[in-house]
Amino acid sequence: MIGELISHYRITGELGSGAMGVVYKAEDTPLDRNICMVHEIGEANGQIFLVMGYIDGPELGAKGLCVDTRRG
């Protein structure tokens, strides 16, 4: 998926994946910017997507701010 377009968002990297799907980092090509909030929920080429903000920094799990409830 890296380098592909979904609607007008270019996938620039994979941030992580799990049982519920894959999270990608992307850029808004018409506005030439990184995504910084929820911009769109849509469907393109049979794939449902959600575009939301990316904040650079340490993973929340590394700071104890995120708990993975799947791990008993």
Is residue 70 domain-resident?
no
Is residue 47 domain-resident?
yes
Residues 6-31, mean pLDDT to the nearest whole number: 86
Is residue 18 domain-resident?
yes
Q: Which domain holds residue 17?
A: 5-63
The domain total for the chain is 1
Q: When comparing pLDDT for 19 and 30, which is higher?
A: 30
Residue 4 is predicted with a pLDDT of 93
Closest to 35 measured CA to CA, from 48, 45, 50: 50
Amino acid identity of residue 59, one-letter, is E
Q: What is the pairing mode between strands 5-6 and 33-34?
A: unpaired
Distance CA 24, CA 35 (A): 11
Total-model pTM: 0.54
Is residue 72 domain-resident?
no
